C-alpha cells in the first residue's frame, strides 16, 4: 500500500438535533485522488474531556483525558470517488457537550481505494450543541447583592474566553435564595441577570438578541436551609443559541 492524500472536513456547527437527547451527526467527505475509486472510509472522532463548571471560581478545566466522541465506517458504492460519512455522537460525547460550551475534536480518517491504496489523515474541529444552558456551579453573588463576587467575575471571564463573539441568542435567567420577600427577590434576580449580561457585553460578547428571565427563589437547585445551599442558589443561568 502507498499513502494518498486525504481531505477531511467536519463541522458540527451545522449538525442536526436541537438538544443533547437528539441525534447529533456530522458529514465527513471522503475523497479519492484522480483515477482512483474509493472502497471504504473509516472515521474516528476523539476529543479532550473538559469539566468547565466546577467548584470554587465556577470553572475547572481538565484536558488530560481523551474520550471517544463517535466513529463510523462506510463502504463506498460502486464507481464513487466521493462518499460522505455520517458520524453519530455517542453517549459520552453527548454528555461532554451537555456540560461544556464547546469541545475541540480531532478527526482521524482512513480511506482505502478499490486498488488497495490507503490514505490517512487527521484534522481538528469545534463541536457545540445548537442550544446550551450554562450554569455556574458556585454561587456568584453575595447575599442581597447584585454585584458579581470573586467567583462570579472568574465565571464571566472564563465564559468570555470560550463563547463566540456573536451567538444568535442569549437568555439570562436570574435566581435568588429563599431569604427576603418575593418582590425584593424578583428585583434581585432581574438585576443579577442584567449584571452577568452587562459583564459579558463588556468582554465583547454581543448576541443578535438577548433577554432576561426572572425566577427569583422559585427554582432552587440546592437546600435553602443551609448557607452553602443558599449560596449556590444565588446564580444566573444562561441559555445560549449558536
Model confidence pLDDT, tens digit, residues 168-203: 999 999 999 999 889 999 999 999 999 999 999 999
pLDDT at 62 over 80: no
Domains of the chain: 12-127 (2.60.40), 131-241 (3.30.1330.60)
- The rounded distance, in Å, linking the Cα atoms of 129 and 100 is 9
127-131, 150-154, 179-183: which range is least confident on average? 127-131
Instruction: Average the pLDDT over 64-93 and give the result.
Output: 82
Whether the model clears a pTM of 0.75, i.e. scores above it, the answer is no
pLDDT at 161 over 70: yes
pLDDT at 130 over 60: yes
Confidence of residue 207 (pLDDT cuts 50, 70, 90): very high
Tell me the CB-side half-sphere exposure of residue 122, using CA atoms within 13 A: 9
Q: What is the DSSP string of the chain?
A: --B--------GGG-S-SSTTS--EEEEEEEPPTT--EEEEEEEEEEE----S-STTS-----S-EEEEEEEEEEPPTT-SEEEEEEEP-HHHHHHHHT-S-EEEEEEEEEEETT--EEEEEEEEEE--SEEEE--SS--B-TT--SB-HHHHHHHHHHHHHS-SS-SEEEEEEE--S-S-HHHHHHHHHHHHHHHHHHHHHTT---SEEEEEEEETSS-SS-TTSHHHHHHHS-EEEEEE-
Amino acid at each position: 500500500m502507498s499513502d494518498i492524500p486525504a481531505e477531511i472536513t467536519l463541522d458540527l456547527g451545522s449538525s442536526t438535533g436541537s438538544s443533547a437527547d437528539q441525534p447529533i451527526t456530522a458529514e465527513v467527505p471522503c475523497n479519492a485522488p484522480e483515477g482512483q475509486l474509493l472502497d471504504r472510509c473509516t472515521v474516528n472522532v476523539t476529543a479532550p474531556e473538559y469539566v468547565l463548571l466546577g467548584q470554587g471560581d465556577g470553572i475547572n478545566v481538565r484536558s488530560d483525558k481523551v474520550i471517544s466522541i463517535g466513529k463510523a465506517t462506510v463502504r463506498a458504492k460502486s464507481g464513487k470517488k466521493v462518499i460522505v460519512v455520517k458520524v453519530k455522537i455517542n453517549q459520552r460525547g453527548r454528555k461532554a457537550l451537555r456540560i461544556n460550551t464547546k469541545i475541540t475534536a480531532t478527526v482521524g480518517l482512513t480511506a482505502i481505494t478499490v486498488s488497495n491504496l490507503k490514505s490517512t489523515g487527521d484534522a481538528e474541529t469545534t463541536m457545540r450543541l445548537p442550544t446550551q444552558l450554562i450554569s455556574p456551579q458556585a454561587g456568584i453573588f453575595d447575599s442581597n447583592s447584585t454585584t458579581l463576587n470573586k467567583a462570579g467575575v472568574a465565571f464571566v471571564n472564563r465564559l468570555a474566553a470560550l463563547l463566540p463573539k456573536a451567538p444568535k441568542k442569549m437568555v439570562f435567567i436570574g435566581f435568588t435564595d429563599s431569604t427576603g420577600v418575593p418582590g425584593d427577590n424578583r428585583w434581585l434576580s432581574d438585576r443579577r441577570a442584567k449584571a452577568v449580561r452587562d459583564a459579558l457585553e463588556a468582554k465583547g460578547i454581543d448576541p443578535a438578541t438577548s433577554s432576561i428571565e426572572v425566577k427569583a427563589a422559585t427554582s432552587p437547585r440546592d437546600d435553602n436551609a443551609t448557607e452553602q445551599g443558599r449560596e449556590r442558589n444565588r446564580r444566573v443561568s444562561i441559555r445560549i443559541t449558536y
